[in-house]
Structure 1
């Protein structure tokens, strides 16, 4: 793969996005309530056409949007990303009816989507999901009908609209969902949830099915969680929530492919979010150290400070290059996307943590004052090292892919 570099049109678009984020999105973000869905902000993202681009652009454009928005307004970036994460399974694996009903509303910013994978006892170990989908009745005829309307092929990637019908195993056409989800972004305020539930016990990742569950289904309740980062996160309780074959995303018992297909796209863009925060912290540090008087000169004149800033810039640029290399690999359909996505997410999120922390140190106490840019970034930057697969999980994925490439298990 050739080295990644931005084209002039992409550079101009990023500058435009930063301006939009600062002038139109940040004022709406500042009016929002921490820990709550900011529907006015989401609606503005829709009016600007950015939400629609989640479903019409590739991974590189997704990363450009996330990095640019994160630089100027992390709340806008997160609102955009959560709409994409929650609704991408519908776009890539949903039926025509599911897509027609939900995607226009998500794109307009009038419906809030959420991705419900994690559970109290199954965070990093997604194969240990315990939310039960208990079947009701014989769905042989229904399963056969539904198999012809799927948009996902047997390996979990999107299929062309005119793909031939799939062979779907016989099974129930109705289920009841019972259990809990936790650490779910946009919960409990979302309008629809991509929910992963166990349809076949004792089979690990192989027995999980993805369902598209509207928030108004009977038996579905939730509660907000107070977290360090200010975006909305909550828990969900499923008390025999009814779902049918019309709610399945992809294929029964193959929902883990839906989850991994979504995460392979969004992991590099989590890295782009982190790079945007790192760049904002770096630029703030350059301005501060260039203008701050200390020890008879400027802070930048101290070699230790200058070297620290150089290290921050070096790591930020290295992370940026890896993020866009991974996104380019995804857009080109490269075979090593899982490894590249994990590497990009790992390096970028760890780098952002380092850069923001170093920026706080160089700014001193002022950076810890409530309302300071770095105080905000310091709270925001910690979570990405955990969600969508903690750093330790990313290392495990990388090692697994490396050993698989030589035909050996780690």
Structure 2
């Protein structure tokens, strides 16, 4: 059984502890035989399953009683799902990220979509990245030109998670001049004429990804989320909420790697004794445990700060994401090494963790971008 002692930390309330325990039991019962051979079908199935289980209620606000997203709950759910099944974590995370702008800034009519996404009846996506501008979000080219009561979108987005299977996309496009102030956010249903899945993309860990093309894609002005020119602020506000959850997913992967490693070193014998008796192995296990606890402290500090009213947690969320994803990479690498040849056996748990963790150091802000955020925020704190 995975270590749950962190649930006793003062960051959590009793409802968070109950949530984590209940979800862990649900995962053990429902995520044992999840097939991943058809990734698109698996993701749709997982979204439906998570909706039926009631877990997607946490991914977006209730359209009938809008409130704040509980980031500690989001983090606990992602950590638990990631420990059990990486694709289940992906399915949950994209439901939240894809509708985050609607939860935080959407109109009542736009939030009606949340009834379907929270129930697992519709798949959502967050379309921010472009071929020419990855980490430089403000430097986007996709244009949204106002024509009467419509906007016409032309351009591309790429590496869009759930691209090709989503029912709705939150799309960021340029409505004004250069820079962040010229960006706006839109709700674009997948069936909108002119929105084309131009290319399906494959990554080391199988996820549904695509390059999207917008070719004279006409949407009504009611599709605008917030106001013109607020798109960059909306994107950053959404990332402030969900960046900490990426750290939590990394924690889940790292905890699973440690669990698999402990089982291995207890059962495996070398030179007539359990593998764990080797001091070098004990050193690796100690470093893995240390990295996990340190990452968890940063992750749940950031989540707690957001839930208790901090207006912006960019610095804390960036610290959590940077440290947790980097350290999880090290933890999983140690697990591979300790497992030897079995650690690189295709289809094995440790091998799949090794592929899953790498992308987390890139998406929602690459590790080097997090360092820039942390450095600038630290400078501003001391000025």
Instruction: State the TM-score, normalizing by the size of structure 2.
Output: 0.92
After TM superposition, the structure 1 = structure 2 runs for residues 20-59 of structure 1, keeping only pairs within 5 Å, are: 20-27=26-33, 29-30=34-35, 33-34=38-39, 38-56=43-61, 57-59=69-71
Q: What is the deviation of 1:335?
A: 4.6
Matched, 1:181 2:181: no
CA separation of 1:5/1:208 partners in 2, compared to 1, >3 Å: closer, same or farther?
A: closer
**In structure 1, how many angstroms separate the alpha carbons of the residues matched to 2:340 and 2:25?**
28
1:36-95 superposed Cα distances (whole Å, 9 cap, x missing partner): 662121111001111111225500011011111111111111100000000111121111
Other-structure match for 1:96: 108
Other-structure match for 1:272: 248
**In structure 2, how many angstroms separate the alpha carbons of the residues matched to 1:295 and 1:225?**
46
Matched, 1:386 2:374: no
| Greater mean deviation of Cα atoms: 12-21 or 217-226 | 12-21
SS of corresponding position for 2:39: coil
Other-structure match for 1:257: 233
Q: What is the deviation of 1:333?
A: 1.9
1:339-374 superposed Cα distances (whole Å, 9 cap, x missing partner): 000000101100110100110000100111122110
| Greater mean deviation of Cα atoms: 343-352 or 53-62 | 53-62
Matched, 1:190 2:195: no
Larger radius of gyration: 1
Asked whether the equivalents of residues 306 and 313 of structure 2 are also in contact (C-alpha less than 8 Å), the reply is: yes
**In structure 2, how many angstroms separate the alpha carbons of the residues matched to 1:258 and 1:335?**
13
Unaligned runs of 5+ in 1: 138-172
Matched, 1:402 2:381: no
Matched, 1:205 2:180: yes
Other-structure match for 1:345: 321
Asked whether the equivalents of residues 43 and 88 of structure 2 are also in contact (C-alpha less than 8 Å), the reply is: no
**In structure 2, how many angstroms separate the alpha carbons of the residues matched to 1:131 and 1:36?**
29
Which of residues 105, 122, 127 in structure 1 aligns to 2:116? 105
SS of corresponding position for 2:35: helix
Asked whether the equivalents of residues 4 and 321 of structure 1 are also in contact (C-alpha less than 8 Å), the reply is: no
Q: What is the deviation of 1:35?
A: 5.5
1:130-160 superposed Cα distances (whole Å, 9 cap, x missing partner): 10112214xxxxxxxxxxxxxxxxxxxxxxx
Q: What is the deviation of 1:262?
A: 0.4
**In structure 1, how many angstroms separate the alpha carbons of the residues matched to 2:28 and 2:232?**
38
SS of corresponding position for 1:126: coil
Asked whether the equivalents of residues 316 and 351 of structure 1 are also in contact (C-alpha less than 8 Å), the reply is: yes
Asked whether the equivalents of residues 120 and 181 of structure 1 are also in contact (C-alpha less than 8 Å), the reply is: yes
Instruction: State the TM-score, normalizing by the size of structure 1.
Output: 0.87
1:383-409 superposed Cα distances (whole Å, 9 cap, x missing partner): 0000000000100000111111233xx
Asked whether the equivalents of residues 36 and 231 of structure 1 are also in contact (C-alpha less than 8 Å), the reply is: no
After TM superposition, the structure 1 = structure 2 runs for residues 133-212 of structure 1, keeping only pairs within 5 Å, are: 133-137=144-148, 173-202=149-178, 204-212=179-187
Which of residues 102, 122, 140 in structure 1 aligns to 2:133? 122
Matched, 1:357 2:333: yes
Q: Aligned-pair RMSD on alpha carbons?
A: 1.5
After TM superposition, the structure 1 = structure 2 runs for residues 240-251 of structure 1, keeping only pairs within 5 Å, are: 240-251=216-227
Matched, 1:16 2:33: no
Q: What is the deviation of 1:11?
A: 3.4
Q: What is the deviation of 1:5?
A: 4.4
Other-structure match for 2:64: none
Asked whether the equivalents of residues 220 and 236 of structure 1 are also in contact (C-alpha less than 8 Å), the reply is: yes
Asked whether the equivalents of residues 36 and 42 of structure 2 are also in contact (C-alpha less than 8 Å), the reply is: no
Unaligned runs of 5+ in 2: 1-8, 62-68
SS of corresponding position for 1:300: helix
Equivalent pairs counted in the alignment come to 367
